[in-house]
Amino acid sequence: MPDAPSEGEVWLVNFQEGGERPAVVVSRNQLNRGRYILVVPCTSARLPDRTAFPNYVHLPRGVAGLTRDCLAQAHLIQPVDASILMQRLGILGPERLSEVLRAIAWVIDLFDTVGISDT
């Protein structure tokens, strides 16, 4: 792996299941120097069907080095070994990263649990 990833970066990841695909790094930078990195995998399948759901975040082609439209799948958040990060594609802007983090919060029911608004 070239350099330690940073929160909000999009990397090409070689997942054991699912093969090579982009993923958004969501773990905070203080944790990204270790062996495991927390990521949200992306998909380009069934975009029109999935964009309406709050656990998906649309990432248009051209954003963060993506070569096609895709969706960050917040419900599939997972730790991955840093060794399977293949190539840094780019970085999400703060607003788009906030959308991904908000989708994760929705998935784990953080809004109701701590009493913050999801709007």
CATH number of the domain within which 59 lies = 2.30.30.110
Instruction: Check residues 41 and 112 and name the one with the higher pLDDT.
Output: 41
3-state SS, residue 37 = strand
Find the mean pLDDT for residues 100-106. Answer: 96
Q: Give a yes or no: residue 91 inside a domain.
A: yes
Q: Give a yes or no: residue 119 inside a domain.
A: no
1 pLDDT exceeds 50? no
Position 3 scores a pLDDT of 78
Query: Model confidence over 63-94: pLDDT tens digits?
Result: 999 999 999 999 999 999 999 999 999 999 99
pTM over the 0.85 mark: yes
- DSSP secondary structure string for all residues of 43-73: E-TTHHHHTTSTTEEEE-TTGGG-SS-EEEE
113 pLDDT exceeds 80? no
> Total domain count for the chain?
1
Range of the domain at 108: 9-114
